[in-house]
Structure 1
Amino acid sequence: MPLQKILHVEDDESIRVIVEMALVDIAGFTLTSCDSGSEAINTLEHFTPDLILLDAMMPGMDGLQTLNAIQKLPQCQGIPVVFMTARIQQQEKQEYLTAGAIAVIEKPFDPMSLGDELETLFQDHVSATR
């Protein structure tokens, strides 16, 4: 099963632009971007991604609160979530993984390899859940 559709949740517009270039222009994925956790929840009512790329620190709903809300949506059961954060303390990383994320990517990230990294994480997740 190939990775095709990604939902990206990030409050920083400059990072959204870089991620869009990395995932759409370079990697060829279909990408829907949201600037907040609440927008992501609303978007998930009519868009079902293969993977969710989620910023950890956002105003309003932070990443963990957003993940918690996503996990309550029946149509989102089993969709892998990858956190992206500049704060990558081991304790925080473990908190994201314990909450249900499959991985944590550190900012700054390499735009040239982000698509490949997400594809690998997605395929590893698919293989592990079979």
Structure 2
Amino acid sequence: MNGKRILVIDDEDDIREVAQLSLEMVGGWQVLTASSGPEGIEVASEQKPDAILLDVMMPELDGPSTFKKLQDNPETAKIPVILLTAKVLSADRQRFAELGVTAIVAKPFDPMNLATQVAELLGWNF
């Protein structure tokens, strides 16, 4: 399982830190982080992670807009994206699913189960 690289894009420092620790310690993955949509797009283009965890609610460029820009770039279009969101109403989930994201993880997430949840959603052996 080692060798996988995941990019976490979230404007909240504590969410990024908890996700990074969880994915590194439990999943054994290398974690890249970005604190905004534009920064995340740049990191994704340069580093080509195996997957991206993307916050929905961010200032400047929100998650859906960031996802669209990732999809429009041939270098990042094939990277699976999992949205992190506190919006878990069925209408919100349907709207996010229609974007073409791989999956949705509800916030707050359980740090001890995040790596397992991500692996299952991406079809990775864990």
**TM-score computed with the length of structure 1 as normaliser:** 0.89
1:10 paired residue number = 10
Report the CA distance between 1:89 and its aligned residue: 1.3
Q: Residues 63-102 of structure 1 correspond to what in structure 2 (within 5 A)?
A: 63-102=63-102
Runs of 4+ with deviation above 2 angstroms = none
Match of 1:128? none
Percent of aligned positions with the same letter in both sequences? 34
> 1:75-102 CA distances to partner (integer Å, 9 max, x unpaired)?
1122111001112111111111110111
Once residues 122 and 101 of structure 2 are traced to their aligned partners in structure 1, the CA distance between those partners, rounded to angstroms, is 11
For 1:51, give the aligned amino acid. Answer: A
Query: How many residues end up aligned between the 2 structures?
Result: 124
- Is the Cα contact below 8 Å between 1:3 and 1:50 reproduced in 2? no
CA 1:123/1:87 → structure 2, altered by over 3 Å: closer, same or farther?
A: same
5+ residue gaps, structure 2, are: none
Please name the residue that 2:46 is paired with. 46
What displacement does 1:42 show? 1.2
Runs of 5+ unmatched residues, structure 1: 125-130
Query: Could you give the per-residue CA deviations for residues 89-119 of structure 1, whole angstroms, max 9, x where no partner exists?
Result: 1111111111011111111111011001111
Question: Take 1:26 and 1:102, find their aligned partners in 2: how far apart are those partners?
Answer: 21
1:52 Cα deviation from its structure 2 partner? 0.7
Cα distance in 1 for residues equivalent to 2:52 and 2:61 = 16
Give the whole-Å Cα distance in 1 for the aligned partners of 2:6 and 2:36: 15
Match of 2:19 in 1: 19
| 1:29 match | 29
Distance in 1 (CA, whole Å) between partners of 2:41 and 2:56 is: 15
Say which SS state the counterpart of residue 59 (structure 1) adopts. coil
**Matched residue type, 1:41:** I
Is 2:107 the counterpart of 1:107? yes
Alpha-carbon distance in 2 for matches of 1:38, 1:28: 27
